[in-house]
Homo-oligomer: A and B are copies of this chain.
């Protein structure tokens, strides 16, 4: 089978511990011995067995990432950013898909699979705030998103309310007054949908605009088809509108599609703004004005925080920092679907 320290030791004519010492850069090794060992390693093509090393050292050099589904572009791009950030630290990433199913999310948290990793970056979508106790797991955990909050945990998220408010205010500042919203979740308060809807309402209030329930399109899955369906619902209500806020880009793109089918021109008749700044937002027709949520920063911060927590777990942990909630900065990316001076276009 695979080459082990024993094989190398035999070929080099030394003990396995000496080989181990060479590999681990132990300083006191005679140059002659060192080169003998290195030659044997080269000759046999020895590679350390990371499983054994991990068992012995208690460190796996791997972390787990649990996301709903890689076919959702936001999570695919997030996963890519997490893997890249981990890679920079020499850490590999084991990816789990939960499908956003609460039962499956809880199962992943309790799964013995996690004994293969040093910690978990967890992006829940299905569990409720009441499930927070289930997050008290015996390994380092960093939470993502805004589904569940727990002061006991490190958490990396974004200013959803503020960002959604800024997006809405952007539409208002551009001259729009009747702003539909697509992707709301019935009755949700905590969570992306709840927070972003709140930001939307705050912006309306601040501008003295009335909130019209007929302009709210509901859909649970934040898929394109969901955005399309929610947009159709709003159109069916018959209430006039001159802008749409998609609670994420995928929803906005689905909505844009329906608007076009309905003969409404974007942005001439209706401005559309999204949320996430997906790659594809730049290349849709028209390109999508959206909120950049700082995804890369979130990924990097989540990895750094988790690694710090893992390192602290080994030490006496008395001096470990308290769990913190870290929030990314957002930025509005203006593109064609919602120009900063929309009414000028509309009037043209």
The chain A residues found within 8 Å of chain B, CB to CB, are: 1-2, 47-52, 54-55, 58, 60-62, 69-71, 73, 76-77, 79-80, 83-84, 87, 92-97, 112-113, 115-116, 138, 224-225, 228, 253-254, 256-257, 260, 279-280, 282-285, 287
| Cβ–Cβ contact B47 & A51, under 8 A | no
Q: In the assembled complex, how far is the CB of residue A162 from the closest CB belonging to chain B, in whole angstroms?
A: 26
| Cβ–Cβ contact A70 & B62, under 8 A | no
Copies of this protein chain in the complex: 2
Query: Which chain B positions have C-beta within 8 A of A84?
Result: 97
Query: Which chain B positions have C-beta within 8 A of A253?
Result: 280, 283
| Cβ–Cβ contact B50 & A112, under 8 A | yes
Query: Which chain B positions have C-beta within 8 A of A50?
Result: 112-113, 115-116
The complex places the Cα of A58 from the Cα of B94 at a distance, in Å, of 19
- Checking B83, B94, B116 against A97 with a beta-carbon cut-off of 8 angstroms, the contacting residue is B83
The residue of chain B having its C-beta at the shortest distance from the C-beta of A138 within the complex is B2
The complex places the Cα of A253 from the Cα of B283 at a distance, in Å, of 8
The complex places the Cα of A279 from the Cα of B92 at a distance, in Å, of 28
Q: In the assembled complex, how far is the CB of residue A120 from the closest CB belonging to chain B, in whole angstroms?
A: 12
Q: In the assembled complex, how far is the CB of residue A113 from the closest CB belonging to chain B, in whole angstroms?
A: 5
